Structure 1
Amino acid sequence: MKIELGGKNVLITGATGDLGRVMARTLADCGANIAIHYHSNERKAAELKAEIESKGRRAAVVQGDVTREEEVLRMKDETAARLGAIDIVIANAVIQYQWTSVLEQPAADYIGQFESCVIQSVFLAKAFLPAMKEARYGRLIGINTECAMQNFPTQSAYTAGKRGMDGLYRVLAKEVGEYQITVNQVAPGWTISDRDRESNSEINEAYSSSVPLRRRGTDQEIANAVAFLASDLSSFITGAYIPVNGGNVMPAI
């Protein structure tokens, strides 16, 4: 048994980011064609496109602000023209900001997190799910976070955005399930990426000591979970929030 995505077309938002790049490579290795979304890093998007194509897959680069509906609709048209209809959408893009206390956090940061966590997914759903409904097949996968369950100091804007995203995905899973579209979330912990490898900062004992597996996860482990949810191996899983964090947070029944 293996993860097989041959012939599937995947859109990954924020594909030039630390986690997005590994997702793109992993899904391409599973046989998928990849639509690489970027907001500002055109050079990295072009490099990733060449890498995907070197694996024998088709790839397309699309730029856009995923918090604006007209740009998401344009992205849909561009990906359809270059790859065909999108079968799998991965909402990975998120706005970065400086974390601080609730009393000091600018209101604009809460708005930005709501837009990039919730509104992005609303626009992606409106743009791409109608064709999935017609095909009676599709996957929407959102990248959430363990922070949504931790609620630690200084996490308020991020947690608020991601908890809003969680509610949206659970409702959406019920609304589109009859069309055999699954809607799920992967919730990474504090994940090791190329940025950590380049700075030799993979190890953090203070964090790892609280993790049952006593280590940080890797970008590849996040991508593996995404690949599983994108595949037919997960065809009867929907509405799930799946932590990939070594047990650092554990949803309860």
Structure 2
Amino acid sequence: MSIDLTMKTALVTGATGELGRVMARTLAKGGADIIIHYYSNEHKAHQLQQEIEQLGRKAMIVQADVADLDSVMRMKEAVEGRFQLPDIVVANAVSQYSWTSVLEQSVDDYVDQFNSTVLQAVHLAKAFVPHMIERRAGRIIAINTECAMQNFPSQSAYVAGKRGMDGVYRVLAKEIGEHQITVNQVAPGWTISDRDRENQTERSESYERTVPLKRRGTDQEIANAVAFLASDLSSFITGAYIPVSGGNVMPAI
């Protein structure tokens, strides 16, 4: 058995980010052509496009603000005119901000997180699910977080957005399941990325002590879970929130 994504097209939002790049490359290695979404880092998008094309896959670059429906619909039109609409949508983009306490956190940060998580889910569904319904096939994979279960101090805006996103995707899974479209979430723990490797910050003993596997996960391990959910091997899994955190969070039955 192997993960075979040949003849598939995948959209990865936030594909120029630390995790997004690895997911895009991994899906391409599985055989998928890739739609590389970026918000501001056009240079990194072109670098990633070259990497994917060197793997023998097609790649298209698209710019959009996932928090804005008109921008997402323009992205869809651009893809439709020049490429193929996606069979796989990986909702990875999220806005960055400084974490602090509820009392000190700006209200604008909560709005920003809502727009880039909850509304991204809604916008991507409106743009790309109708095509999946026509084809009676599709994969939607959202990147959530272990923080959504931890609810630690200073996480409130991030957690609020991700938990709201969780609700949208669970409802969506029930609404479109009859069309053989699966909707799942991958929830990374604190993940080692290229930035950590460059800065030699891979280790954190205080964090690792809380993890049953006693280490941090890697960006590739997150991407592997995404590739599995994108493949036919996961055809009867939908509505799932799957931590990839070494057991640091464990949803209870």
Q: Same fold (TM over 0.5)?
A: yes
Q: Secondary structure at the match of 1:141?
A: strand
Which residue number corresponds to residue 135 of structure 2? 135
Structure 1 runs of 4+ aligned residues shifted over 3 Å read: none
1:172-251 matches, cutoff 5 A: 172-251=172-251
Which residue number corresponds to residue 78 of structure 1? 78
Which residue number corresponds to residue 95 of structure 1? 95
Which residue number corresponds to residue 151 of structure 2? 151
1:187–1:244 Cα contact (<8 Å) kept: yes
Which residue number corresponds to residue 67 of structure 1? 67
| CA shift digits 1:47-89 (9 cap, x unpaired) | 0001100111000000010111111011111122222121010
Write the distance in 1 (CA, Å) between the matches of 2:142 and 2:105.
25
Write the distance in 1 (CA, Å) between the matches of 2:172 and 2:135.
17
Q: Secondary structure at the match of 2:40?
A: coil
Q: Secondary structure at the match of 1:169?
A: helix
Write the distance in 2 (CA, Å) between the matches of 1:208 and 1:82.
46
Write the distance in 1 (CA, Å) between the matches of 2:51 and 2:241.
31
Q: Secondary structure at the match of 1:21?
A: helix
Write the distance in 1 (CA, Å) between the matches of 2:196 and 2:180.
39
Which residue number corresponds to residue 19 of structure 1? 19
Instruction: Give 1:244 shift.
Output: 0.2
Instruction: Give 1:223 shift.
Output: 0.2
Query: In structure 2, what residue type is equivalent to 1:170?
Result: R
| CA shift digits 1:93-124 (9 cap, x unpaired) | 00000000000000000001111110011000
Write the distance in 2 (CA, Å) between the matches of 1:188 and 1:81.
34
**Percent identity for Structure 1 against Structure 2:** 70
1:58–1:83 Cα contact (<8 Å) kept: no
1:80–1:86 Cα contact (<8 Å) kept: no
Which residue number corresponds to residue 38 of structure 2? 38
5+ residue gaps, structure 1, are: none
Write the distance in 1 (CA, Å) between the matches of 2:155 and 2:108.
15
Write the distance in 2 (CA, Å) between the matches of 1:149 and 1:84.
36
Write the distance in 2 (CA, Å) between the matches of 1:79 and 1:89.
13
Which residue number corresponds to residue 164 of structure 2? 164
Write the distance in 1 (CA, Å) between the matches of 2:152 and 2:145.
12
1:144–1:185 Cα contact (<8 Å) kept: yes
1:12–1:90 Cα contact (<8 Å) kept: yes
Q: Secondary structure at the match of 2:37?
A: strand
Query: In structure 1, what residue type is equivalent to 2:193?
Result: S
1:9–1:83 Cα contact (<8 Å) kept: no
1:138–1:180 Cα contact (<8 Å) kept: yes
